[in-house]
Amino acid sequence: MIQAVLLRIVGARQSVSESSSSKRNGRSERSARPKKERRAAREFEQRRLKVEAKEKEAAREAEAQRLAAEEKREQRAIKERRLEVTREQAERNARLKAEQVRLNHEIRLIELKARQAKPGDVEGVDGQTPSDPSGAGNLALQTKRFGDMIRHVLPKMPLESAELPQFFEIVKKTLRDV
């Protein structure tokens, strides 16, 4: 655009110089010519400065638009990354929860099998674990039952030491009969 304006002005100068060289009639025309040329040069310079200012303004606006678009792209990328991270966390939490549910189910199954298993049915079970609720192979349960039976059969132990010999004789007779 600047080049087109420059070509017009150069063309105007040439036509002015050609017309003035062909007329060379007087000195007043010669003095008028430099004034016209100076005025034309000033006008040309003013036009050129205006055009340059408009071009600079357009370049600034284009740069501002480019920066705004770039910032929007960056914001969009940040937002997408946040969504992706949130999605990944949700997936990870879902997997962990599913794994926890699966493990809890396995534990329940193992406990159920342990309750239903008879002593000696399963390898590693020696009959002395609480897996048999009937007490057939559970030494602790058998001992507790035996203690309860004795408690019902024998009298209470006296607190006074003078009654102790009589208590032990009663226990001796009771156990001999059993």
User: Does the structure show a pLDDT above 70 at 125?
Assistant: no
112 pLDDT tier (thresholds 50, 70, 90): confident
User: Does the structure show a pLDDT above 80 at 62?
Assistant: yes
Q: In the chain, what is the greatest distance between 2 CA atoms, to the nearest angstrom?
A: 169
Give the contacts of 146 (CB within 8 A, at least 6 positions apart): none
Q: Where are the domains of the chain?
A: 2-115, 139-177
Q: Which two tokens stand for residue 84?
A: 């992706």
User: Within a 10 A sphere around the Cβ of 174, how many other Cβ atoms?
Assistant: 13
120 pLDDT tier (thresholds 50, 70, 90): low
Per DSSP, 1 falls in state: -
CB contact at 8 A, 174 and 168 = no
User: Within a 10 A sphere around the Cβ of 155, how many other Cβ atoms?
Assistant: 11
CB contact at 8 A, 119 and 137 = yes
Confidence at residue 153, expressed as pLDDT on a 0 to 100 scale: 85
18-34: average pLDDT: 55
DSSP characters over 124-173: T--S-STT-TT-SS-HHHHHHHHHHHHHHHSPPPPSSGGGHHHHHHHHHH
User: Within a 10 A sphere around the Cβ of 40, how many other Cβ atoms?
Assistant: 14
User: Does the structure show a pLDDT above 90 at 35?
Assistant: no
Please give the single-letter amino acid code of residue 27: R
Q: E strand or H helix at 95, and its extent?
A: helix 27-116
Least confident of 1-5, 34-38, 102-106: 1-5
Average of per-residue pLDDT values in the chain: 81
CA 18 to chain centre: 79
pTM above 0.75, yes or no: no
Give the contacts of 33 (CB within 8 A, at least 6 positions apart): 16, 20
Could you report the per-residue pLDDT of 84-97, keeping only the tens digit for each? Answer: 999 999 999 999 99
36 pLDDT tier (thresholds 50, 70, 90): confident
37 pLDDT tier (thresholds 50, 70, 90): confident
Could you report the per-residue pLDDT of 132-160, keeping only the tens digit for each? Answer: 556 667 888 889 988 888 888 888 889 99
Question: Where is pLDDT greater, at 11 or 131?
Answer: 11
Confidence at residue 72, expressed as pLDDT on a 0 to 100 scale: 96
